[in-house]
C-alpha cells in the first residue's frame, strides 16, 4: 500500500482546482460542479484517513456526505432554474440584486 | 503495481478536473466531471473502500450528473464566448487565493502523515458492504433515518423552488 501523503496531495490538488474554478467561472452550473468536485476531494481525504487508521467511521461519514451532496445538488439546481427564469441567463455576474 | 495504478488514475483525475474548469461548453464540463468522479471511484477501490466506490459511481456519476445534464439541457445554456476576457486583477487574485489554499493544505497534511497508528493487515479490509452495513445499521441508525427525512425535504423544497408558479389555494375550501 502506498503512503497516505499521495492520496492527500491528490485531494489537495483537486480541492484547489475546484476552488479556483469557483472563483474564475461565471457560469452558475459550472461553479456548482466545481463545488461538487471540492466535496469529492474532501471525501477522498476522509476515506484515505479511514483506510490508514483502520477505522470505518470515516467511510460512514463519507456515506452521509454523499447523501447530503445529493440533496444539495437537487436544491442547488432548482435555485439555478429559478435564477434562469428571472434573468434568462446563468451568468452569476448578472445576479446583482443585493449588490451595492 | 499499486503506485502505477494510482499515478494513472491521479493524472486522469487532475486532467479531467482542469478540463472541467477550462472548458467553454457546459456539457463538456459535465462530462469531464463524470470522468473525474469515475477515476476517484477507482482511487477508492485502491483504498479498499469497495462499497463507497460503487456508491460513488451510482449516486455521483449516475444520478447527480444525470440531473446536471438534464438541467443543462432544460436551460439550453450557450457556450461561453471567452473564459478570460477582462478583470485581469480578479483572475490574478483567484489564482493567488488558490495557491494560498493549496499551500495551507500541504502544510497541514505535512504534519499528520507521520502520526498514523500501526495497524495490522486485516484491519485494512474494512470497506466491504458487510462492514459498512454492520456499523451503519447499528451505531448510526438514527443518522441514517434522518438522512431519509433530509432527502424527502430536499425533493419537496426543490419542487417548491423550481415550480413555475406556486398555486394559490384560495379556491380550496379548508
Residue B109, pLDDT above cutoff 60 = yes
pLDDT over 50 at B139, yes or no:
yes
Report how far residue B20's alpha carbon sits from residue B18's, in angstroms, rounded to the nearest whole number: 5
* Nearest beta carbon to residue B55 from set A9, A20, A63: A63
Most trustworthy range by pLDDT among B53-62, B111-120, B160-169: B53-62
Confidence of residue B174 (pLDDT cuts 50, 70, 90): very low
**Which residues are CB-contacts of A4 (< 8 A; sequence separation ≥ 6)?**
A48, A49, A52, B113, B116
Please, which residues bridge with residue A27 across strands?
A91
| Stretch among A93-97, B2-6, B22-26 having the lowest mean pLDDT | A93-97
Q: Please tell me the distance in Å from A95's CA to the nearest CA on chain B.
A: 16
Contact predicate B162/A78, CB 8 Å? yes
Predicted-complex ipTM score = 0.91
> Which residues make Cβ contacts (< 8 Å) with residue B64, sequence separation at least 6?
A36, A69, A70, A73
Residue B37 with chain A: CB contacts under 8 Å: 40
The three-state secondary structure class of B163 is: coil
Which residues of chain B make contact with A18, given a CB cutoff of 8 A?
17, 21
Of A20, A62, A90, the CB nearest to B98: A20
Q: Report residue B171's pLDDT band, with 50, 70 and 90 as the boundaries.
A: low
DSSP string, A45-94: HHHHHHHHHT-THHHHHHHHHHHHHHHHHHHHHHHHHHHHHHHSS-BGGG
Amino acid at each position: 500500500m502506498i503512503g497516505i501523503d499521495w492520496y492527500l496531495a491528490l485531494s489537495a490538488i483537486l480541492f484547489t482546482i475546484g476552488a479556483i474554478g469557483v472563483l474564475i467561472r461565471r457560469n452558475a452550473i459550472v461553479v456548482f460542479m466545481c463545488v461538487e468536485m471540492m466535496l469529492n476531494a474532501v471525501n477522498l481525504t476522509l476515506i484515505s484517513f479511514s483506510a490508514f487508521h483502520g477505522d470505518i467511521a470515516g467511510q460512514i461519514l463519507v456515506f452521509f456526505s454523499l447523501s447530503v451532496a445529493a440533496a444539495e445538488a437537487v436544491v442547488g439546481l432548482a435555485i439555478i432554474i429559478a435564477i434562469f427564469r428571472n434573468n434568462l441567463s446563468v451568468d452569476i455576474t448578472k445576479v446583482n440584486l443585493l449588490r451595492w | 503495481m499499486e503506485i502505477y495504478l494510482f499515478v494513472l488514475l491521479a493524472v486522469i483525475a487532475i486532467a479531467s478536473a482542469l478540463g472541467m474548469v477550462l472548458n467553454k461548453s457546459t456539457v463538456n464540463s459535465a462530462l469531464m466531471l463524470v470522468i473525474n468522479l469515475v477515476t476517484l471511484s477507482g482511487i477508492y477501490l485502491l483504498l479498499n473502500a469497495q462499497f463507497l466506490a460503487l456508491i460513488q459511481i451510482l449516486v455521483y456519476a449516475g444520478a447527480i450528473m444525470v440531473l446536471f445534464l438534464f438541467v443543462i439541457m432544460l436551460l439550453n445554456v450557450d457556450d461561453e464566448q471567452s473564459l478570460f476576457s477582462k478583470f485581469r486583477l480578479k483572475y490574478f487574485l483567484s489564482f493567488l487565493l488558490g495557491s494560498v489554499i493549496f499551500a495551507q493544505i500541504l502544510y497541514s497534511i505535512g504534519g499528520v502523515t507521520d502520526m498514523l497508528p500501526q495497524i495490522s493487515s486485516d484491519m485494512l479490509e474494512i470497506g466491504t458492504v458487510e462492514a459498512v452495513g454492520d456499523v451503519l445499521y447499528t451505531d448510526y441508525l438514527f443518522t441514517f433515518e434522518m438522512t431519509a427525512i433530509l432527502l424527502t425535504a430536499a425533493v419537496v423544497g426543490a419542487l417548491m423552488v423550481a415550480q413555475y408558479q406556486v398555486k394559490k389555494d384560495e379556491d380550496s375550501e379548508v
